[in-house]
Amino acid sequence: LSDKLQNALQKLKGKGKLTEKDIDLAMKEVKMSLLEADVNFKVVKTFINSVKERSLGSEVMESLTPGQQVVKIVHEELVKIMGQGESKLKINSNDITYFMMCGLQGAGKTTATGKLARKLKKDGKRPLLVACDIYRPAAIKQLQVVGASVDVPVFEMGDKTNPVTIAKEAMKHAMKHGHDIVIIDTAGRLHIDDSLMEELVEIKQTVKPDEILLLLDAMTGQDAVKVAETFNQYLDITGVILTKVDGDARGGAALSIRNVVDKPIKFLSVGEKMDQLETFHPDRMASRILGMGDVLSIIEKAQSAIDEKQALELQKKLKTQSFDLNDFLSQLQQIKNMGPLEEILGMMPGLGGNKKMKDLKVDEKELVFTEAIIQSMTKKERTNPSIINGSRRKRIAAGSGTSVQRVNQLLKQYDEMKKMMKKFSSMEKMMGKKKGLR
């Protein structure tokens, strides 16, 4: 989804003026890529209409950078269809909080039960897990293993007791043992059936959960949306945990659910390990779908200072890491026009708090030395600074009228920047792989 969307939008980005036809064409492509990504048809229609309408309005037409404005609108509308902000769990401050996990078999209920417990425990809570899946073979054992791995106790009554009774007993147990959070792991079926639904409704009536969380397998695309509709009809769920987002190549489910059942996605499950649960942020998801992280804003910033061709080149170099001292110098020069480097690097996901960034401050005076030093190197040395040995450092220092110290400092700076770029590009790769959205 990501690649296709980017392609469609890339064409608009460079244009100085946009016509209605340009926008129509781009929207057709965006529409196709969304449908291919298994986004619900109704959602796509609403989305395209609002993007189109806004794109033809003055915010784009009177802008100096209309293409970028359209990208911005697409981003904003993506956020809108996924629900505006983060949706927090409802937790009682002076009463036991009950969560009920439901969903089809294999959706990831038991796994997410453990993940949630781990998260809440880290927040200082005392969770209890309840084994209400008495049908799937070894389901109780599985919950016990999960519970043990996050060091949270499991309440079970074997597989001969009715799940409603188990839930009732678990409530007493929690009260008696001072638990403040109870997470009920329920049974699923391969398909929705009435007896499963009735059992869940009964558990709901007994426990009156604060949250009824529906686990949806992102890999099932449109089916996930249908499952959500049915569960919501029976149970009036309070939120969704989208699972196996790590394996979903299309990202369609995330885009459809909010719109179809009007319930927020609260978490993303992105792997089998207990720490692989992320709070869902619509804006970050939109950025991931657009394949840009915060890179979008970096590029935008770069574009206002550098011309577009150079910006694209920089982007390419960042990705391939074929970044040498010549680039380093020209970057330093351009960065001067872009504003503080800290701010730029701060926008890169994960680099915000890096303390090494201090070393990368660009100082006008330093820049003169830097330029002189780099110009005193041979072409070979500029493309491959690692070949510069001790005696060459002395020569370069003499040639540029600086000191060996300064030369060393510069080479260190360059190494630092390169390391960050490496980190940045592998992070991008990781994000892409993890989310499977590109």
Q: Is the CB of 272 or the CB of 363 nearer to ligand GDP?
A: 272
Minimum distance of Mg ion from residue 185's CB (angstroms): 6
Residues in the chain, total? 438
Minimum distance of ligand GDP from residue 237's CB (angstroms): 15
State how far the Cα of 332 lies from the Cα of 351, in Å rounded to an integer.
19
Q: Is the CB of 71 or the CB of 224 nearer to ligand GDP?
A: 224
153 binds, among Mg ion, ligand GDP, none (CB under 5 to 8 A by kind): none
Determine which residue in the list 76, 86, 202, 246 makes contact with ligand GDP, applying CB under 6 A. Answer: 246
Contact between 247 and ligand GDP by CB under 6 A: the answer reads yes
Determine which residue in the list 109, 204, 393, 435 makes contact with ligand GDP, applying CB under 6 A. Answer: 109
Contact between 106 and ligand GDP by CB under 6 A: the answer reads yes
What is the phi-psi region of residue 105: left when phi exceeds 0, alpha when psi lies from -120 to 50, beta otherwise?
beta
Q: Where are the beta strands (DSSP E) in 302-425?
A: none
> In 3-state terms, the chain is what percent helix, strand and coil (to 5)?
60, 10, 30
- Per CB under 5 A, residues contacting Mg ion are 109-110
Sign of CA dihedral 298, 264, 34, 2: positive
To which H or E segment does residue 232 belong? helix 222-235
Minimum distance of ligand GDP from residue 83's CB (angstroms): 20
Determine which residue in the list 105, 222, 304, 409 makes contact with ligand GDP, applying CB under 6 A. Answer: 105
State how far the Cα of 22 lies from the Cα of 219, in Å rounded to an integer.
33
Minimum distance of Mg ion from residue 192's CB (angstroms): 16
State how far the Cα of 102 lies from the Cα of 215, in Å rounded to an integer.
6
The residue range among 28-36, 61-69, 263-271, 291-299 that interacts with ligand GDP, by the rule CB under 6 A, is: 263-271
CB proximity list for 70: less than 8 A, separation 6 or greater: 9, 12, 18, 23, 26, 51, 55, 60
Instruction: Describe the strand order of the beta sheet including 265-269 as a list of residue ranges.
Output: 154-155, 127-131, 181-185, 97-102, 211-217, 239-243, 265-269, 277-279
Contact between 435 and ligand GDP by CB under 6 A: the answer reads no
Tokens of 356: 């090494």
Tokens of 237: 């769920």
Three-class DSSP category at 162: coil
State how far the Cα of 390 lies from the Cα of 396, in Å rounded to an integer.
10
105 binds, among Mg ion, ligand GDP, none (CB under 5 to 8 A by kind): ligand GDP
Minimum distance of ligand GDP from residue 24's CB (angstroms): 38
State how far the Cα of 44 lies from the Cα of 226, in Å rounded to an integer.
16
Minimum distance of ligand GDP from residue 169's CB (angstroms): 21
244 binds, among Mg ion, ligand GDP, none (CB under 5 to 8 A by kind): ligand GDP
Q: Are 347 and 296 in contact (CB under 8 A)?
A: no
Residues placed in the known binding site for GTP: 103-110, 185-189, 243-246
Q: Is the CB of 107 or the CB of 417 nearer to ligand GDP?
A: 107
Tell me how many residues contact ligand GDP (CB under 6 A): 18
Q: Are 10 and 315 in contact (CB under 8 A)?
A: no
Determine which residue in the list 108, 163, 282, 293 makes contact with ligand GDP, applying CB under 6 A. Answer: 108
The binding track of 176-215 with respect to ligand GDP, each residue x by CB under 6 A or -, is: ------------x--------------------------x
Footprint (CB under 6 A) of ligand GDP, residues 268-307: 269-272
Interface residue list for ligand GDP (CB under 6 A): 103, 105-111, 188, 215, 243-244, 246-247, 269-272
